Amino acid sequence: MREQAKRWLESQMEEKHIPIEVVASVLGIPQENMRVGSGQRLDADELLRICAYLCIRPENIPIE
C-alpha cells in the first residue's frame, strides 16, 4: 500500500481519536504495516478491514 494511503488512513484515525495501537490490536494487524515510513506494506485485506473499522469507504482514499 502506498505511503500516501497510509498517511490518509492515519489522518482519519487522528480525526476519530482512535490510536493506531487500538486499530492494530482489534484487527490483528501489525502496527508496522500501518505506520508511514516503516517500509512495510498493507495488503488489500488489511486495508479493507481498517476502512470497515473506521467506517470509511476505500474508494475515498486519495491515491495519485
Q: What is the pLDDT of residue 2?
A: 76
Which pLDDT tens digit goes with each residue over 3-50? 888 999 999 999 999 999 999 999 999 999 999 999 999 999 999 999
| CB proximity list for 50: less than 8 A, separation 6 or greater | 9, 23, 27, 29, 34, 42
Written as nine digits, the cell of 29 is: 494487524
Segment (H or E) for 63: none
Q: Which residues of 19-34 are buried (b: 16+ CB within 10 A; e: fewer)?
A: ebeebbeeeebeeebb
pLDDT beyond 70 at 1: no
SS3 51: helix
pLDDT at site 63? 75
Residue-level pLDDT at 3: 86
